[in-house]
Amino acid sequence: DTKYGKYDGRTVLTAADDAAQQHLGGKWQIPSSSDWYELYTQCSWGWTTINGIKGYKICGIKEGYRDNYIFIPAAGIWTNKKPDLSETTDTSWGNYWSNELHHNALTCECGITIEFTKNTIKISDIEGRYKGLPIRAVLRK
């Protein structure tokens, strides 16, 4: 047992625990760390503002995908039902969940994320899965 309840030994969310699957249904899910890594390495990332919101416009660079993009807002982090800017001094910051625990986690407290500011992008982990990070659902084919 941990402070979050009984630890089941899983390192990847099941469909029952996946917020994207539960809210959107079908083949929607929270991205894996591999999905985030693929976006990080196989797409171009451009810092921009869309409708007054800062974030990254992520564009495909492969033939046939160059006109496609997604936008991930710099949504920060929430704790205790309010934005927590103490996590960073840069308010242009984002951190999105993957569907996986950190592989070195001895408890269920560290989740893998993609973290970014306008100057950095990295696959990371964050302790405290109770923190309110956004998710960016993906559709599996």
Dihedral, 115, 24, 12, 5 alpha carbons, nearest 10? 100
| pLDDT single digits (tens) 109-124 | 678 889 998 899 999 8
Q: What is the pLDDT of residue 9?
A: 73
Q: Return d(Cα 96, Cα 40) in angstroms, integer.
A: 13
pTM of the predicted model, to two decimals?
Answer: 0.80
What pLDDT does 30 receive?
Answer: 95
CA distance 14 to 114: 20
- What pLDDT is stored for residue 83 in this prediction? 60
Residue 62 binned pLDDT confidence (cut-offs 50, 70, 90): confident
pLDDT value for 89:
42
Per-residue pLDDT tens digits for 16-51: 989 999 999 989 999 999 999 999 999 999 999 999
75 or 57: which leads in pLDDT: 57
